[in-house]
Amino acid sequence: MTDAIAGKAAAPAKRRVRRASSDRPWTFYVLAGFFAFYVIALYGPMISIYILSFQDVRGGLVFPMRGFSLHWFNELIMQTRTGDVSGSFRRSIYLAIAVTVITVVFSFMAGMAFRRRFRGDTIVFYLMIGSLVAPGLVLGIGIGLGFDMAGIPTNWFTSALGAQLSWTLPFGILIMFAVMSRLNGDWEEAARDLGASPAQTIRLVILPILAPGLIAVALFGFTLSYDEFARTLQTAGAQNTLPLEIWSMTLNVTSPALYALGTVSTVISFLIIGVSLGSIILLQRRNAARMNISE
């Protein structure tokens, strides 16, 4: 009887002791391990091909590393066996910039529209979801055939632009939804109360407050376009974009030049993201500095 009571009393005490030595629950360590495994699986393969792209002429598609040189990058630029890599790079970047600008502006407008209910908003919403989930190649074929029927040649800056927007816009709008749920209607009313016109309210209040969200939409738009494949395949016309170029390489090229292309494309996307994020941080720093000076 007394033993049982003592046992019961001891149990919580023991637990407290264990807690004191580490106040993290055991689930933390399991999940931390899981997370680490995920990150390794996420980055490991990519890093391995970046490494393999620096082999010399004897290099193959698998480890071990054979020599160290920029041979395969040279090969890429010389375009001995590959297609028009630098041209497709340029086109992809121009296209991504156009898609980004249009996506940001149109998503912002649509996001503003969806803040209030209007007649038919549900139809527009489901239209947008439809466009998001429709198989890319199906839309690509439809656009290609449609342009064909209308007698307009498909081109990366016309049909492919539209095809990519049919995918980046719903994405951008979904992000705007999440961003705008934090936009308080009082701010607009306060601006109006203080005499701001609708245009001034947007320029001086809404846009600055939403700036981080709009940057997120821009980065998404850029990446989705720069990497778009299925919708572009049948709509890019005679000249390839970069993913199409990489695709044709994967089917034809079995040398580390493919990896070199992967390295270059990654470096370029990081450069673009880095420059845009960097300039934003710089702008914010300057604003902060200006405030400190006037203080």
Partner 1 sequence: MKLNRNAVGWLNVSPLLAVMVPFFIVPIIVVFIASIMQTDGFGGMFWDPSLENYSYIFKSDLTYRLYFETVKFAVLTLVFSAFIGFWVAHFLVFHVRSKLLAMGLFLVCTVPFWTSNIIRMISWIPLLGKEGLINRALIAMGAIQEPLEFLLYSDFAVVVAYVHQLTIFMIVPIFNSMARIDKRVVEAAVDAGASKFDIMRYIIVPMSKSGIALGAIFVVSIVMGDFFVVKVMSGGGTASVVGAFYEDIGVLQYPSAAASAIILTILVMLMVAAILRIVDIRKEITQ
Partner 2 sequence: MGTGNGDIELAGVTKSYDGETYAVDGINLKIPDGAYCCLLGPSGCGKSTILRMIAGHEDPTHGEILIGGEDVVGLDPVQRRTAMMFQSYALFPHLSVRDNIAFALRVRGLSKTERYGKADEMMEKVHLTEFANRLPSQLSGGQQQRVALARAAITEPRVLLLDEPLSALDEHLRIRMRAELSRMQRDLGITFIHVTHTQMEAIALADTVVVMDRGEIRQAGPAREVYASPNNRYVAEFIGGQNVLSGKVGDVNGSKATLAGPTFSNIEIPLLAGTPLHSGQSLDIAIRRDDIDLLRLGGNGVPPGSTGVEGAVTGVEYQGTFVKVMMDAAGEGEFVAYVPERRFFEDTLSVGDRVLAVWQIDHAHLLA
Q: 16-35: which residues touch partner 1 (CB under 8 A)? A: 24-25, 27-28, 31-32, 34-35
Of these partners, partner 1, partner 2, none, which one is at the site of residue 180 (CB under 5 to 8 Å by kind)?
partner 1
* Cα separation, 152 vs 145, whole angstroms: 10
Least distance (Å) between residue 123 CB and partner 1: 10
Binding-site partner at residue 186 among partner 1, partner 2, none, CB < 5 to 8 Å by type: partner 2
Which positions ≥6 away from 254 have C-beta within 8 Å?
Answer: 61
Kindly state whether residue 188 participates in binding partner 1, applying the rule CB under 8 A: no
**Which partner in partner 2, partner 1, none is near 132 (CB below 5 to 8 A by kind)?**
partner 1
Closer residue to partner 2 in complex, CB, 66/192:
192
Using CB under 8 A as the criterion, what x/- string covers residues 184-213 for binding partner 2?
A: x-xx-xxxxxxxxx--x---xx--xx-x--
Region from 13-21, 69-77, 157-165, 280-288 binding partner 1, contact rule CB under 8 A: 157-165
**Least distance between partner 2 and beta carbon 193 (Å):** 5
Per CB under 8 A, the segment of 8-16, 19-27, 44-52, 181-189 that binds partner 2 is: 181-189
Residue 268 identity (one-letter amino acid): I
Q: What is d(CA 88, CA 262) in angstroms, rounded to the nearest whole number?
A: 14
Site string (226-265) toward partner 1, x via CB under 8 A: xx-xx---x-------xx--xx--x-------xx-xx--x
Q: At what angle do helices 71-78 and 257-294 cross, to 10 degrees?
A: 90
Distance CA 112, CA 107 (A): 8
| Residue 220, C-beta contacts closer than 8 angstroms, at least 6 positions apart | 103, 168, 171, 172, 175
Number of neighbouring beta carbons within 10 Å of residue 289: 10
Judge whether 148 and 212 are in contact, CB under 8 Å.
Answer: no
- Residue 145 sits in the site that holds partner 1 (CB under 8 A): yes
What sections of 53-120 are H helices per DSSP? 71-78, 85-114
Between helix 85-114 and helix 121-133 the angle, nearest 10°, is 160
Minimum distance from residue 194 beta carbon to partner 1 (Å): 18
x-or-dash pattern for partner 2, window 53-92, by CB under 8 A? ----------------------------------------
> Measured between alpha carbons, how far apart are the two ends of the chain, in Å?
74
Stretch 1-20 residues interacting with partner 2 (CB under 8 A): none
Out of partner 2, partner 1, none, what residue 217 binds, judged by CB under 5 to 8 A for its kind, is none
Give the Cα separation of 124 and 139 in Å (integer). Answer: 18
Q: Which of 177, 211, 215, 276 binds partner 1 (CB under 8 A)?
A: 177
Q: Is residue 170 reached through a cis peptide bond, with omega within 30 degrees of 0 on the bond before it?
A: no
Helix axes 257-294, 207-226, angle to 10 degrees: 170
Picked from partner 1, partner 2, none, the partner binding residue 197 (CB below 5 to 8 A depending on kind) is partner 2
